[in-house]
Amino acid sequence: MGENRVSEKSRTTGETSIDLSLAIDGTGKGEIDVEVPFLAHMLDLFKKHGFFDLNVKGRGDVEVDDHHLTEDIGIVLGQALSEAIGDKAGIKRYGSFTLPMDETLVTVAIDLSDRPHLEFKADLPAQKVGTFDTENVHEFFWKLALEARMNLHIVVHHGSNTHHIIEAMFKATARALDEATQIDPRITGIMSTKGSL
C-alpha cells in the first residue's frame, strides 16, 4: 500500500508557478527550489521531520512580496497530501507532537477528518524573519489544512524568537502528520464509528 501513497501536483496562475511531488512513505529526501528562501528552509525541515519525499519548484511574483507564492505552495502541498493519503483506510487518522526548540515549545495536533479547520494560537514577536513576512505563516497553514481537509491545531506555549517559533511549527506539523498517516494493522477500513469521514 505504501508505495502507492504518492502525488504530483502543478499549479500555474498569473502570480505563481508550482510543481510539487510528494511521497508519504519516504525517507525525507527531495529538492526544494523555491524563490522564498525562508519558506524553502521550512519545507526542507518539513520533509526531513515527516520522512516525506518532497520536491518543490516554486516561482512567483516575489518582487511584490512573498504572500502569493507562500499561499499557493500551501494549497498545492495540501492537495498533494489529500491525494497521496487516498481513502484513509487503515491510517491512524490522529497525530500530535510537542516540539521544544531552545526557548520555544509548540504543540501540533492533527485529525485527518475531512473537516478542514485551523486553530492557530501563536504570537509571532517579529513581523519579518529576514525578508519573509511572518503573517504569511498563518496563510500557509490555513491553506494546507483546507486543501488537505484536515483539522490542524497549532499552539505555541511559549517562545520569544520568531524563527524558532515558526521552525518548531513546521517540524511539529511534519511529525504529527507522520503519525496520523501511519498505517495501523489493527484498523479495518476507516478509523471512525461512522464508517466514513
Across the chain, which has 197 residues, the per-10-residue mean pLDDT values are: 81 96 97 97 98 97 90 98 94 97 98 96 96 96 98 98 98 98 87 65
- In DSSP notation, 26-44 reads S-S---EEESSHHHHHHHH
- The residues, ordered by sequence, that sit 6+ positions from 7 with a Cβ below 8 Å of its Cβ are 21, 22, 79, 80, 81, 83, 84
Instruction: Report whether 24 contacts 90 (CB < 8 A).
Output: no
**pLDDT at residue 148, rounded to an integer:** 98
Nearest to 183 by CA among 96, 53, 114, 87: 87
**Eight-class DSSP state of 3:** G
For 2, the 3-state DSSP assignment is: helix
pTM attached to this predicted model: 0.94
Alpha helices in 6-135 (DSSP H): 37-50, 67-85
By the 10 Å C-beta count (0-12 exposed, 13-18 middle, 19+ buried), 188 is classed as exposed
Question: Distance between alpha carbon 3 and the CA centroid of its chain, in Å?
Answer: 20
**pLDDT at residue 190, rounded to an integer:** 73
- List of domains in the chain: 2-180 (3.30.230.40)
**pLDDT at residue 134, rounded to an integer:** 97
**pLDDT at residue 1, rounded to an integer:** 41
